[in-house]
Amino acid sequence: MNTEIILKPVKIVKLFKVLNAVPDNLDKIRARELWEETDQGLGSVVAVLDSGVQIDHPSLKENIIDGYNFTDDDEGNPSIYKDYLGHGTHVSGIIAAVDNGRGITGVAPKSKVLILKVINHMGRGSFENLIKAIMYAVDWTGPNGEKVNIMNMSLGSPEPQEELHKAIKYARSKGIVLVAAAGNEGDGESETIEISYPGFYKEVIQVGSISEAETPSKFSNTNVNLDFVGPGENILSTHLNSNYVELTGTSMAAPFVAGAAALIIKTINRSESRLIPMYVYDYLLSHVLPLENFSINHIGHGFIQLK
């Protein structure tokens, strides 16, 4: 079964041509307090399985380590992983926009992103290509022997698929931290359940969204497997044409956790790679800010914190 993944069009809240900003959300999750200890994530590689990237974006270009196109865009040329939607560019910036005093700064600004394009210019992708991208990320080796530490999947489908689950389990067994968006089909009620795969799989850190007031976002999916929440409303990051825009969605919350993992990984024992996902999860669990007025279906264990 070739289940389709559809990225719904995202409304751009505000567009900025030039700015110099360390987003407030970095301090809300206490990311900068871990920068010195972790050298801003230097050495961590995050595979971004999304719609591609603007490869020459001034806030991203030096942190893009490699890429591959799994879609039919650009006649299926694997070496052209250009972003036509802006979604993948935005997600990549939340993780790894450089700290250069211009534009915005990512959670782990010295980490690298491996761009795996699985969503085409129409906002469509398939589980078949997602599986290929996951396996590619597991096997990938960088120019200096780098390996993928984390995968960010700000995408999903309501249908489960056994082959996808196998690929997810395989990637986790290789010590890769898997992060996915919870989905934006929520109705604001914690009793009603909305499920998106691969986020719902237990091997994946499923991330929901909270507002600037630290309340659950109405659109954020609620379910029993939700792990954590991150900032997901009016999130400023990189976009097409070297711009910066604010976008909203669980797609924006997930990369805060992926970027956090790129920092956390520098603080833990990495001698047994298969245990790394567990160690990262335990770190998130022990530092989380519980949002006690809300159901665990809405916020999981709570709002991620790095200190």
* pLDDT tens by residue, 27-38: 999 999 999 999
Residue 306 lies in a domain: no
Asked whether the predicted pLDDT for residue 23 surpasses 80, the reply is no
What is the distance between the alpha carbons of residues 167 and 135, in angstroms, rounded to a whole number?
A: 7
Active site residue 251: yes
Q: Find the Cα–Cα–Cα–Cα dihedral 226, 229, 233, 236, rounded to 10°.
A: -120
> Given this model, what pLDDT does residue 10 score?
61
Q: What is the mean pLDDT of residues 93-121?
A: 95
Tell me the Ramachandran region of residue 90: left when phi exceeds 0, alpha when psi lies from -120 to 50, beta otherwise: alpha
User: Who wins on pLDDT, 14 or 92?
Assistant: 92
Query: Strands 112-117, 177-181: parallel, antiparallel or unpaired by DSSP?
Result: unpaired
Q: What is the mean pLDDT of residues 180-209?
A: 96
> Given this model, what pLDDT does residue 21 score?
63
Q: Determine which one of 87, 90, 239, 298 is catalytic.
A: 87
Asked whether the predicted pLDDT for residue 17 surpasses 80, the reply is no
The set of residues, in sequence order, having a beta carbon less than 8 Å from that of 182 and lying 6+ positions away, is: 196, 199, 206, 207, 208, 209, 220, 221, 223, 226, 250, 253, 254
**Banded pLDDT at 14 (limits 50, 70, 90):** low
> Given this model, what pLDDT does residue 3 score?
67
> Given this model, what pLDDT does residue 22 score?
64
> Given this model, what pLDDT does residue 256 score?
98
> Given this model, what pLDDT does residue 257 score?
98
**pLDDT, tens digit, for every residue of 72-104?**
999 999 999 999 999 999 999 999 999 988 889
Asked whether the predicted pLDDT for residue 1 surpasses 60, the reply is no
Q: pLDDT > 90: what percent of the chain?
A: 89
Residue 304 lies in a domain: no
Least confident range of 9-13, 124-128, 214-218, 270-274: 9-13
Domain total of the chain:
1
Q: Determine which one of 50, 73, 99, 227 is catalytic.
A: 50
User: Who wins on pLDDT, 12 or 206?
Assistant: 206
Average pLDDT of the chain to the nearest whole number: 94
> Given this model, what pLDDT does residue 5 score?
83
> Given this model, what pLDDT does residue 178 score?
98
Q: What is the mean pLDDT of residues 235-262?
A: 96
Q: pLDDT > 70: what percent of the chain?
A: 94
Task: For residue 85, give the CATH number of its domain.
Answer: 3.40.50.200
Residue 268 lies in a domain: yes
Residue 243 lies in a domain: yes
What is the distance between the alpha carbons of residues 219 and 248, in angstroms, rounded to a whole number?
A: 10
Residue 109 lies in a domain: yes
The parent domain of residue 193 ranges over: 4-299
Strands laid side by side in the 177-181 sheet: 64-69, 112-117, 45-50, 150-153, 177-181, 205-210, 228-231
Q: What is the mean pLDDT of residues 287-301?
A: 95
Residue linked to tokens 């040329």: 77
Q: What is the mean pLDDT of residues 155-170?
A: 96
Q: What is the DSSP string of 146-198?
A: ----EEEE---BSS--HHHHHHHHHHHHTT-EEEEE--S---S-SSS----BT
Least confident range of 48-62, 97-111, 163-177: 97-111
Q: Determine which one of 44, 154, 251, 298 is catalytic.
A: 251
